[in-house]
Chains A and B, each alone.
Chain A
Amino acid sequence: MTTALFYILGIILLAATLMCITRRNPVHAVIYLVAGFFALALMFYLLGAPLVAAWEVIVYAGAIMVLFLFIIMMLGLAPQEVPEGPGWQRWLPLALLSASLMACTLLLILEDPAAGQKVGGFYLAPQALGEALFGRYAMAVEMVSFQLLFATIGAYLLGRPLPKGEDQ
């Protein structure tokens, strides 16, 4: 039952992502991506990561994607981006490149002896994750917190008003 659910969620994820990357309107793209992230969060849950699944919804779909929506609305972006010239000349090489990359990756995955082994039946309680995060990986958490601080300062510096004459 849950095995079938995993494949259904994977197909939903890939379909939503495909819709996302082909939309002209950035708002539609972000909404499709949020739908895909919900499916991805459920896949995380099925793979035994309930806390990561919750954070995927809260942080990715809830905070980061809403930040994208906020910027789109703040700038008032119109769905423009009209392709110049014949469209297929633009995306056909990329489609071939992506298809060949995908084929090579799938071949590599199939070659690997670990690929056939079953995964599942694993459930990591949030308490164990928290103990690892703040025990063995405490230094990494500190470094990431510093990185968030630097990013805040960088965003502030980039967002300050432009000097006179540089703004159009």
Chain B
Amino acid sequence: MMIPFGHALAFAAALFILGLTCVLLRRQILMILIGVEIMLNAASLVFVAASAYWRQVDGQVFVILLMAITAAEVAVALAMVVYLWRRKRTLVADEFNGMHG
């Protein structure tokens, strides 16, 4: 398989912008988190393509570290989702507009 490096980057850019659109457009907290996941995967695609371009191992190592960090992030974020659901029985981000303390 031989493709121009720019095409892989273009796919990654399109994926990242779809994720960014999801974060900006959706109001449900779960969908915002899904948008973050999409953006992280776009970053993974750039890393793997760069790893193939420079024929170095480092990009793929970064993707694996990125997956571990994403797992940690998702664990905390979903715990927060459950916490917010318990507080207000809704996941629409606009509803969480008050401070307490």
Could you tell me which residues of chain A, from 74 to 118, have a CB within 8 Å of some CB in chain B? 74-75, 77, 81, 90-91, 94-95, 97-98, 101-102, 105-106, 109-110, 112, 114-118
How big is chain A's contact interface, by range?
35 or more
CB within 8 Å for A159 and B83 given contacts A72-B30, A124-B60, A133-B64: yes
> Once the chains bind, are B69 and A147 in contact (CB under 8 Å)?
yes
Could you tell me which residues of chain A, from 20 to 64, have a CB within 8 Å of some CB in chain B? 20-21, 26, 29-30, 33, 37, 40, 43-44, 46-49, 51-52, 55-56, 59-60, 63-64
How big is chain B's contact interface, by range?
35 or more
Q: Residues of A at under 8 Å CB distance from B? A: 2-3, 5-7, 10, 13-14, 17-18, 20-21, 26, 29-30, 33, 37, 40, 43-44, 46-49, 51-52, 55-56, 59-60, 63-64, 67-68, 71-72, 74-75, 77, 81, 90-91, 94-95, 97-98, 101-102, 105-106, 109-110, 112, 114-122, 124, 128-129, 132-133, 137, 140-141, 144-145, 147-148, 150-152, 154-156, 158-159, 162, 166-168
| Sample (22) of A-B pairs whose CB atoms are under 8 Å apart | A13-B11, A26-B28, A26-B31, A40-B45, A44-B44, A49-B63, A59-B67, A64-B37, A67-B74, A75-B81, A81-B92, A97-B24, A105-B17, A106-B10, A115-B4, A119-B8, A122-B51, A124-B57, A155-B78, A158-B79, A158-B83, A162-B87
